[in-house]
Amino acid sequence: MSLLQIHDPAASPRPIGIDLGTTNSLVAYVGAMGEPVVVRDCDGEALVPSVVHYAGDRVTVVGARARDLALEHPRDTLVSVKRFMGRGADDPETRTLGPYRFASATGPVVRFEVGEGRVVTPVEVSAEILRDLRERAEDELGRVGGAVITVPAYFDDAQRQATRDAARLAGIEVLRLLNEPTAAALAYGLEHRKNGRFLVFDLGGGTFDVTLLDLDDGVFQVRATGGDSQLGGDDFDRAIASRLLEHLGHREAPSAPPSAVRYALEAARSIKHALTDHDLVETTLDHGGQSVLLRVTRAEFDAWTAPLVARTQVACRKVLRDATCSAADVEGIILVGGATRIPSVRRAVASLFGREPLADIDPDLVVAMGASLQADILAGQGPRQDVLLLDVLPLSLGIEAMGGVVERILPRNTAIPAEAAQVFTTYAENQTGFEIHVVQGERELAADCRSLARFTLRGIPPMPAGLPRLEVRFAVDADGLLRVSASERTTGMSQDVEVKPTYGLDDAAIEQMLLDAYEHGERDVVARALSEQRIEAERVLAATDKALAEDADLLAPDERSRIDAAMAGLRTACGGDAHRRIVARIEDLDAATREFAGRRMDRAIRRALTGQSLASVETDTARAAGLDAHMPPSMREDD
């Protein structure tokens, strides 16, 4: 950047793209020739370390200067804060991510105690980084417009909302939140005019995303997304740092002084970078009065981090399986994130896919470049207006139905923006309200998924069970944020809610949800079937009790004893855990009551026809022909 910039005050504000990273962040824009330009400082550095130091007098320092203060002030300097976005204070992982002081051990939001008793949240820390990036762009462009900010593909509603809030605090208008792998594919596809099926392998500082997508003449359609989201360059650093702490006399990292932990992490990062280009690194550990000469080989580093590399392979195979394709179908692998420079990572990618990955665009810069291109498109200022991005949901969205089962309305890997609805009915007689419980996850029971929101639709007139029609509609926007609405069709009562959980799924929880869905899939299906059959059994028993009370005089000799025996058998089966036995006992009860039910139907028809003319009967029959007033709870209409 030159020392003197001259700007046209009448020029339109320039949209920007921001890569808000765990380790480093940067900002880019589209130049006059339609090419993405990364903003650099006066030293030519594009990367801004995602580090914030809180000094006295409410002074904050961001970037490289803050990183230099981390060793001396480890608790007042916040590093890799992106990993805290969307976490609760009582999350067990929270306190393993850094040597910080936490304002509270419980609560929905992490709060850090920093210089002079000041308390800040991850949103506020991220806002400081975003504000610094905005000011950098203003120094070069004069006026900046809205921004496209990238997020990991596996960020959930709460984490995306937290990112939006941080941008608002920084004075930035968010045009769109864009998944990082999609941004990288956008930069690569438009730069090289490539078509075909590509896999984006994004191993950043704190998260790992893998996305399979098709590029076809300006249409970028994501087929499947996955990842191991508690995995990144920071974890490779920790694998080295734990060995360094042992050499400094600290057998267990959690018990080591904060200054020693910070020193070991910084030394580990330097060793990792050096081993990218060299087979051997010699370094002197000088901390706490100790001085230790240490030699680390690339083979040792590869052995220490082999479990981390193996986790990337597992995630890649899952995405291929979700997209029902093989590694041979992938025409190119795009590397994103600084950690993809690690030789063992690149070897593993080449081995899995049988080809060398594509890395001709700097993996540290490609996400911001893609974000700037998308910002230019959304602002309608650039030449590329025929580009369409189709992202997908990382996890299924649904509601809790009777028996605690999940009715999925939007399954994972659905292209977004998306909208879908389902129609439900009541189970109980004279029900005047519906409680809507919105959940996210892949398990069959709501108790095993993450709760996102609850709200109640009230004011429905009492009606017989099965008559009301409740339509629940889910709408997910291009940012992946969810809005839920519910309406009762016969009365017009409605309510909608924008789902804004106080805190949501952290990346590890999302990955664990998918693992649980695979590991417990068969058991979940059995549990769901058992719950559904118990509900059906309760409905049948209640209906039978009501019929016996109203029309006992229609029972034939010995018929009551057979029905009672069948009902007792059904109740016994409901107390067990075999859903097929419940099905069999329902069939037994149906057989025992079939003739009784026929006699009740004859009586009901005689009562209904008494005193009516043939014409009125025909009119009533025609009016009721299209009304399915007795739809079972398990049935629904799809929209």
Kindly list the catalytic residues.
Answer: 19, 82, 180, 202
The residues that bridge with 613 in the sheet, in sequence order, are none
Residue with tokens 């970037």: 63
What does residue 252 show for φ and ψ, rounded to 5 degrees? -120, 120
Per-residue tokens: 356: 């060398």
Phi, psi of 110 (to 5 degrees): -75, 135
Alpha helices in 278-342 (DSSP H): 298-322
Question: β-pairing, 196-203 with 332-336?
Answer: parallel
* Cβ contact 342:272 at 8 Å: yes
Neighbours of 57 (CB within 10 A): 6
Q: What is the DSSP string of 108-172?
A: SS--EEEGGGEEE-HHHHHHHHHHHHHHHHHHHHSSEEEEEEEE-TT--HHHHHHHHHHHHHTT-
What is the C-alpha separation between 354 and 357, in angstroms, rounded? Answer: 9
Name the token pair of 128. 């400081």
**What's the gap between Cα 125 and its chain centre?**
22
**What gap in Å lies between CA 595 and CA 86, rounded to an integer?**
60
Residue in 381, 495, 476 with CA at minimum distance from that of residue 433: 495
List the structure tokens of 283: 């370094």
Strand pairing partners for 398? 408, 439
Amino acid in position 70: A
Question: How many residues are present in the chain?
Answer: 639
Q: Which residues contact 517 (CB under 8 A, 6 or more apart)?
A: 441, 442, 443, 524
Query: Cβ neighbours of residue 24 under 8 Å, at least 6 residues apart?
Result: 47, 48, 49, 50, 205, 338, 364
191 neighbors 114 (Cβ within 8 angstroms):
no
Q: Are 164 and 20 in contact (CB under 8 A)?
A: no
Q: What does DSSP assign to residue 99?
A: S
Nearest to 279 by CA among 344, 234, 231: 344
What is the signed CA dihedral for 483, 487, 492, 494, rounded to 10 degrees? Answer: -50
Distances, alpha carbon 38 to alpha carbons 19, 187, 192, in Å = 11, 12, 18
- What's the first-to-final CA gap in the chain, in angstroms? 54
Q: How far apart are CA 381 and CA 361, in angstroms?
A: 24
What is the three-class DSSP state of 38? strand
Three state DSSP letters for 62-109: ECHHHHHHCCCCCCCEEECHHHHCCCCCCCCCHHHCCCCEECCCCCCC
Partnered with residue 415 across adjacent β-strands are 392
